[in-house]
Structure 1
Amino acid sequence: EACYARTREALLSLYRGYNRAFGILFGPMIVSWMELFFRGGLDRVSPLRLAPGIDIPVLIIHGEEDENFPLHHATRLRDHFPPGRAELFVAAGADHSSSSLSPLYPKVVEAFLDRYLSGHRVQTD
């Protein structure tokens, strides 16, 4: 829920969302220091780069009105999975943390789980 495609872009978006001036003035500097500290590793751990190697079904859930990570982050991430591997549910009117409040949320999650887990039983004692 509330996903992002590239770690660097996501951090910059978060800093701008926290405070526009802070995000514009200090965000790039902080991210650049992080790149140095992690030896350029931010890109290596970006979901966009990891998505092609995931070989299980994925349900991406995102709020339509998410200001921290705008919707284009989720569509970009979905598009980097192998064809048919990832589904995207966009919760209408939801912000960064309220996708699960959408009336469609439980139905979408249940349908996804039914599609991929039908016939599999979890044993409980």
Structure 2
Amino acid sequence: MGQVTCNLNNAACKLKLKDYKQAEQLCSKVLELDNRNVKAVYLRAQAYIQPVDLDLAEVDIKRALETDPDNRDVKLEYRVLKEKIGEHNKDSQFYGNMFAKMNKLEQAKVAKQEPAPMVIDSKA
């Protein structure tokens, strides 16, 4: 049990220091020992959210909610995650539309270019 507590405290410190990969690894070690540890799943979800591993974060948040559906911190983090997913989707759509428009403009520009005049070689 001491190793679990130590790793969880260390993971929380790593999150504060923005060492998200190390925090994720420490939480994963805890989950190998106790796969129903809500704090480990919650902290690992936070570690996934920061570098924008939103899919992995969502899996862990949902897992934590299944284990402890009344956990206030997990519910708040899930709300934050859903906002980040919404922002990410909006950004993806915006940039996707922007690149599609740029591509159409480029294709129109190429189509408008006049063909090069033919050169007839009299030596042939």
TM-score normalized with structure 1 length: 0.26
Answer with 1 or 2: which has the greater Rg. Answer: 2
**Which structure has the higher relative contact order (CA within 8 Å, separation 6+)?**
1
Name the structure where strand makes up a greater proportion of residues: 1
Name the structure where helix makes up a greater proportion of residues: 2
TM-score normalized with structure 2 length: 0.26
